[in-house]
Each structure stands twice: as structure tokens, then as C-alpha cells.
């Protein structure tokens, strides 16, 4: 994969801001044609325009990953334009926070629809393109709450645990086709989502979205002989231990 990025095709969901935007810019800088997808059209158009103005290749496609018809249309457009997909970054996600006793079933359903169903739908459609190629890389952006628990984050944590379960199973299923599947589990990153979930954290101690983009590029730099199941990347302690 390290030698093919210049001619590769990538789809990044949740691409309009934060981690998704940073990943789009990093991929485009490496010469990859980036499809930027998210619900907010003006945000992904701004990302695509930024890439194009810098001499890269990008296409903005608005889509709600929780909607199966929209996901099907998204992949149909990619298939029609490029006829292949080399990289899928499942980054789209939402956060709903609060004590369990104040959380509705509808809140849980919404988390599962976007964070889990969306990852499943995009991974399934990506596999349909990658299996005939016998190559590809799916990277799911999970979270530290994919293996830890925090108060007031029960439904968000449940969704990220589900993403990790999906990642582990898909990695085994996909390997026979030469397709790799990994998860990145970030700790505190300076994004809107983290600012809402952890308003107690000083932004100066948080990682930047570019730090997660660097982890994505590291995975894509590995030879076909290597496979990484997951990367837990955390913010550095403010003071040495």
C-alpha cells in the first residue's frame, strides 16, 4: 500500500471537519484521490475545494451513512467515477452524553444507527469493491471508549465497543482476500465532539486531528507482510510520570 497511494482511491466519511478533514488532507497530499462524504454538504465541499486548490484530487459527496439508500448511492458514484476503492476510512460518528437515567432509547438508537450501522454499511459496500481487486484497507476510527468506560458516556461507549467487535470480525473475514482492517482508538483530540463530552479538559493538553491522520498514514505505509489490529493513541501526560 505504501507504494500505491499516489494512484489510490479513498473514501473518508465524516470528512467535513476535525479528524475526517485532517485525514482527507493527508491522503490528498500523498496523491490519493479522496472522496469526502458527510451529511453537511458545505463542509465537505470546502474540504474538497481546499484539496483541489492545493493541486490534489477530491470529490465531495453528501451522504448520511445511517441511511442504506444513501450509502448505496455513494458507492455507486465512486464505482462510476473510479471503478475501484483502495481505502475506506470509517470516521463518521456522533456523540450523545449524559447519565444513563437521563438517556432515552431513542438516543441509543441514534448512536447505533450512525456509529455502528454506518460503519457496517460502508464496510459492506467497500468489501464488494475490494474483494474482486483482492486488495484494500478499511480503517475504523473508534475511540478509547472502545475498551474503557467513562461516566455519562454509556451509549457512546456501547457504540464504540460495537465498532470494535465489527472490526475484529471483519479483519478475519477479509484477510483471505488480501484486505486489511484496522481500528484506531484515539484518546482526547481537540474536536467538537470531545469538547462536548469532556468540557473539563484543557484544549492545550489535547491531541490535534492531524495526530490521528498521521496514524492513518502509518498504517497505509506498512508493507503487505504486516497487519495491525488496532492502535490506541492517547494524549501525552502534561507532566512526566
> pLDDT tens digit string along 26-54?
999 999 999 999 999 999 999 999 999 99
pLDDT at 201 exceeding the cut of 80? no
Q: Within 10 A of 6 (CB to CB), how many other CB atoms are there?
A: 9
**CA-based nearest residue to 228, from 140, 126, 124:** 140
**CA-based nearest residue to 91, from 144, 158, 23, 159:** 23
- In the set 97, 137, 150, 156, the catalytic residue is 156
| For residues 206-211, average pLDDT | 86
- Residue 97: active-site member: no
> pLDDT tens digit string along 212-227?
999 999 999 998 888 9
d(CA 91, CA 12): 7
**CA-based nearest residue to 86, from 36, 37, 136:** 136
pLDDT higher at 175 or 197 = 175
C-alpha cell at 123: 464496510
In the chain, the largest separation of any two C-alpha atoms, in whole Å, equals 53
pLDDT at 241 exceeding the cut of 50? no
In sequence order, the 6+-apart residues with CB closer than 8 A to the CB of 146 are 157, 160, 161, 163, 164, 183, 185
> pLDDT tens digit string along 164-180?
999 999 999 999 999 99
pTM over 0.85: yes
Contact 220, 5 (CB under 8 A): yes
> pLDDT tens digit string along 130-154?
999 999 999 999 998 898 888 899 9
pLDDT of 224: 87
Question: What does the chain come to in residues?
Answer: 241
DSSP string, 50-75: HHHHTT--EEEEE--TT-HHHHHHHH
d(CA 185, CA 167): 12
Question: What does the mean pLDDT of the chain come to?
Answer: 91
Contact 116, 43 (CB under 8 A): no
**Fold exhibited by the domain 5-232:** Rossmann fold (3.40.50)
Amino acid at each position: 500500500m505504501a507504494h500505491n497511494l499516489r494512484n489510490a482511491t479513498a473514501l473518508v466519511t465524516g470528512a467535513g471537519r476535525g479528524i475526517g478533514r485532517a485525514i482527507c488532507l493527508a491522503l490528498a497530499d500523498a496523491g490519493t484521490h479522496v472522496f469526502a462524504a458527510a451529511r453537511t454538504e458545505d463542509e465537505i465541499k470546502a474540504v474538497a475545494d481546499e484539496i483541489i486548490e492545493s493541486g490534489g484530487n477530491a470529490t465531495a459527496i453528501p451522504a448520511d451513512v445511517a441511511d442504506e439508500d444513501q450509502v448505496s448511492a455513494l458507492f455507486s458514484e465512486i464505482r462510476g467515477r473510479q471503478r475501484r476503492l483502495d481505502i475506506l476510512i470509517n470516521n463518521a460518528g456522533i456523540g450523545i452524553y449524559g447519565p444513563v437515567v437521563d438517556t432515552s432509547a431513542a438516543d441509543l438508537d441514534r448512536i447505533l444507527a450512525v456509529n455502528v450501522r454506518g460503519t457496517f454499511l460502508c464496510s459492506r459496500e467497500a468489501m464488494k469493491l475490494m474483494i474482486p481487486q483482492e486488495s484494500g484497507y478499511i480503517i475504523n476510527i473508534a475511540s478509547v471508549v472502545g475498551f474503557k468506560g467513562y461516566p455519562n458516556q454509556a451509549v457512546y461507549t456501547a457504540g464504540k465497543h460495537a465498532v470494535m467487535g465489527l472490526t475484529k470480525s471483519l479483519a478475519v473475514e477479509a484477510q483471505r482476500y488480501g484486505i486489511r482492517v484496522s481500528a484506531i482508538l484515539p484518546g482526547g483530540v481537540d474536536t467538537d465532539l470531545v469538547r462536548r463530552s469532556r468540557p473539563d479538559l484543557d484544549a492545550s493538553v489535547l491531541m490535534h486531528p492531524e495526530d490521528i491522520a498521521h496514524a492513518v498514514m502509518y498504517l497505509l505505509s506498512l508493507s503487505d507482510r504486516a497487519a495491525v489490529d488496532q492502535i490506541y493513541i492517547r494524549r501525552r501526560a502534561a507532566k512526566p510520570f
